[in-house]
Amino acid sequence: MLAYPIELTDDDGTVLVTSPDFPELSTFGDDRAEAIARASDALDEAIAARIHHREDIPAPSAGQSLAALPTLTAVKVLLYQGMRAQGIGKAELARRLGWHMPQVDRVLDVNHHSRLDQMDAALRAIGCRLSVEATNAA
């Protein structure tokens, strides 16, 4: 799971949320719990924008308060980061997988509910392996 640090600041009765890893992220909530919940959605949108604009997505830095990405978004981020690190573009990924470009666009779209087998295939095409682990929530 990927979780990014967020900073929570009291702002006249609401809680302002920013992130050191994503300067463009800004949202708020009526209380701490709502602010953290909204931070996850805002983080999802910041990542979608960075993928769309072909910008880097940093690895999470350290922090006390964290906003976790949904699992599928985290897998898409790992795919995108792996592609960038290896200099693999969407056309090359499509060639390696035997897919059409719209299929590649969908596995990189955080708003598209890609199937896990597709994400696994895309990761394997760039030399990565998807590993899943469950831990106690406590």
Per-residue pLDDT of the chain (138 residues; tens, 9 = 90+): 789 999 999 988 999 999 999 999 999 999 999 999 999 999 999 999 999 999 999 999 998 899 989 999 999 999 999 999 999 999 999 999 999 999 999 999 999 999 999 999 999 999 999 988 888 876
What is the rounded CA–CA span in Å between residue 108 and residue 48? 9
What span, in angstroms and rounded, lies between the C-alpha atoms of 51 and 95?
A: 20
The answer to whether position 133 is within a domain reads no
Length of the chain: 138
Cα–Cα dist 61/135, whole Å = 22
Q: How many domains does the chain have?
A: 2
- What is the pLDDT at residue 137? 76
Domain interval for residue 9? 3-68
Q: What is the Cα–Cα distance from 62 to 46, expressed in whole angstroms?
A: 18
Contact between residue 66 and residue 8 where contact means Cβ atoms under 8 Å apart: no
What per-residue confidence (pLDDT) applies to 61?
94
CATH label of the domain that carries residue 60: 3.30.160.250
- What's the pLDDT score for residue 122? 98
